[in-house]
A and B are shown apart, each in its own frame.
Chain A
Amino acid sequence: NAGVTQTPKFQVLKTGQSMTLQCAQDMNHEYMSWYRQDPGMGLRLIHYSVGAGITDQGEVPNGYNVSRSTTEDFPLRLLSAAPSQTSVYFCASSRQLGLPQHFGDGTRLSIL
C-alpha cells in the first residue's frame, strides 16, 4: 500500500518555465489537497478537491492550476514559474473534507 506518492522529489526550474507536480493516492480517498511549506511559515493550502471533477481554491492559489480527472490523481501545474514559488510542496489525501491525515513525501522545488 503506497499511500500518497509524489513525483518528482526535486526539481529546479528557470523563471517562466511551466511544469506539473504529480500526485497519486491508492487509498480511494475523495479529498485531496496541495500545500506549500516555506521556512518560518505554517503549511498553506493551495488547492483542494472533494472528488473527481471538483476542485476549489485554497489560501494561496495564484500561479497554480489543478485538475481531478480520476479519484487517484491530483496534479498541480505551475503556469509560469516565479522565484516566489520556491518551496516544498506536499500533496495530501483524506477520507473526508478536512485537515489531511496522509501526506506525500514532498517535492522540493527551486525557481532560479
Chain B
Amino acid sequence: EDKVVQSPLSLVVHEGDTVTLNCSYEVTNFRSLLWYKQEKKAPTFLFMLTSSGIEKKSGRLSSILDKKELFSILNITATQTGDSAVYLCAVEHHASGTYKYIFGTGTRLKVLA
C-alpha cells in the first residue's frame, strides 16, 4: 500500500533550537516530494524535491531527499515562535496509469519563547 509517514507527530522546542522533521514514503514510480507549512489556514509551499542528495535551502529552512532510503528531512535552524505550525509532506507518484498524490498527516511544531 502506498503511504507517506511523518515523524514525530508533534514537537515542542525553545527558540533558538534546531529541529529535524522526517518524511518517509513507500510509493510506486516516485515523481516528487513537497513540503508545506500550515498555520491557521492554507498550506504554504516550502520546497519541491525531485533529485536525491540535492539540498534545497531558504533562509533557516533546508530540505534534502534520499531516494535510495525513501525519505526526506526538513531542517529548521535557530527556530523562532513564528515557525510554530504544522509541517506537511506530500508525495506525487505514478500508478494505474495516472498521477496520484499522498499527503502525510503532518508534524505539529510548537516553538516556545
User: Which residues does A use to contact B, with CB under 8 Å?
Assistant: 4, 40-45, 58-59, 90, 97-106
Contacts and interface: CB of A to CB of B under 8 A. Distances in A.
A101 B42 CA distance: 11
A59 B33 CA distance: 18
Q: Identify whether the interface residues of B are mostly helix, strand, loop, or mixed.
A: strand
A42 B105 contact: yes
Interface of B: 4, 31-32, 34, 41-45, 48, 88, 90, 92, 99-106
Contacts of A103: 42-44
A43 B90 contact: yes
Contacts of B100: 59
A42 B90 contact: yes
Contact of B42 (A42, A58, A97, A104): A104
Given A99-B34, A105-B41, A43 B99 contact: no
Contacts of B34: 99, 101
B61 to A, nearest CB: 16
A105 B43 CA distance: 8
A39 to B, nearest CB: 9
A42 B103 contact: yes
Contacts of B44: 103
Contacts of B99: 97-98
B46 to A, nearest CB: 10
B41 A41 contact: no
8 contacts: A4-B42, A43-B88, A43-B103, A102-B45, A105-B41, A105-B42, A106-B41, A106-B42
